[in-house]
Structure 1
Amino acid sequence: MYYFPEPPLGLLFFGFFIGVTCGLAFESTLKQQVNIWMKRGQKNRTSDMSAMSRLTLPFFGVCLGICIFLAAGLEIFTYNRVISYLISGALTLLIGGLIWNQLQKLIIQLLEGGSKALDLDAFY
C-alpha cells in the first residue's frame, strides 16, 4: 500500500502565526526605541546602537516564522521535508541578513542626520 503524506497545513498556519506575532513585537519595539531617541534629542544618538540588540529577538522570530511557513509551503509541493527546510532556511538566512544589514544602515543614517538624511525629495 502506498502512503500519501498529509500536507503540513498545521505548520503552514503555525509559521504564519509566529511570523505575524513576532512582526508585531518587532514593530512595537522599534516604535518604542524611536520615541526614546526623539525624547533624548541629538546627544549620544550615534553611540546608542545598542538598541539594535533589543530588536534581534523579534527579528529572529519573524525569520523563524517565515522559514517554517516557506518550508511547509514547499513541502506541500515537494513531499520532502529535508529539501524544503534546506531551501527555505537558505532563503530565510539570505533575505533576513540583507534586511538586517539594510535596517542597520538606515537607523545609523537616521541617527546621524535625521529624516533629512534620506533625501526623499530626490525621487520626485
Structure 2
Amino acid sequence: MYYYPLQPPYCLLFVGLFIAITSGAALSGTLKLVVQKWQNTSTEKPQSSASWKQLLSVPFLGITIGTCLFLASGLEIFGFPTSLALGVGLPLSLLTCLLVWFQLGSMLNFAERKGLQALDLDS
C-alpha cells in the first residue's frame, strides 16, 4: 500500500548538502575576488562579462548539483519513489538555480555599468 524505502539515501542527502555548501563558499570567494578586482581597477574597463561567467559557472554548477541531490534525496527519504523524487527535484532545482543565475548576472552587469555604489541598498 505505502512505499517505504528499505534503505533511505541519508548519505546522499549529506553529500548533496556538503557539495552545495562548499560550492557556495567557493562562489562567495570568487565573487569577492571579482568585486575586489573591480574596485582596484576602477579607472580601467572591468573584465568582460564572459570571463566572470566562466569563473562563476563552476561553483554555481556545484551548487546546482548539490541542491538537486539534496532535494531528490530528501523527497525519497520522505517516501517518494526514486523516479518521482528525481522528477520533482531535478526540474525544481534547475529552474531555481537558473533564475538565480540570471539575477546574479543582471546584478553584476548593473554593477559593471553603474558602479558598485549604485548597489548600496542601505541608503
Q: Tell me which residue corresponds to 1:67.
A: 68
Q: Verify: 1:57 aligned to 2:91, yes or no.
A: no
Secondary structure at 2:45's aligned position in 1? coil
> Which letter does structure 2 place at the counterpart of 1:60?
L
> Which letter does structure 2 place at the counterpart of 1:48?
S
Alignment CA distance shift 1:105-1:4 (3 Å):
closer
Q: Deviations over 1:68-123 (max 9, x none)?
A: 0000000012341111111111001110110000000000111111234346367x
Unaligned regions of 5+ residues in structure 2, if any?
none
* Pairwise CA distance, 1:33: 1.1
Distance in 2 of aligned mates of 1:110 and 1:89: 31
Contact 2:5–2:77 (8 Å) recurs in 1: no
Q: Deviations over 1:14-60 (max 9, x none)?
A: 10111111111111111111111111114222x52121210000000
Contact 1:25–1:58 (8 Å) recurs in 2: yes
Contact 2:17–2:66 (8 Å) recurs in 1: yes
Distance in 1 of aligned mates of 2:14 and 2:61: 18
Q: Tell me which residue corresponds to 1:87.
A: 88
Q: Runs of 4 or more off by more than 2 Å in structure 1?
A: 115-122
Q: Tell me which residue corresponds to 2:110.
A: 109
Q: What TM-score results when the alignment is normalised by the length of structure 2?
A: 0.87
> Which letter does structure 1 place at the counterpart of 2:22?
T
Aligned length: 119
Distance in 2 of aligned mates of 1:116 and 1:41: 12
- What does 1:31-46 correspond to in 2, within 5 Å? 31-45=32-46
Distance in 2 of aligned mates of 1:83 and 1:39: 49
Unaligned regions of 5+ residues in structure 1, if any?
none
Report the structure, 1 or 2, having the larger helix content. 1
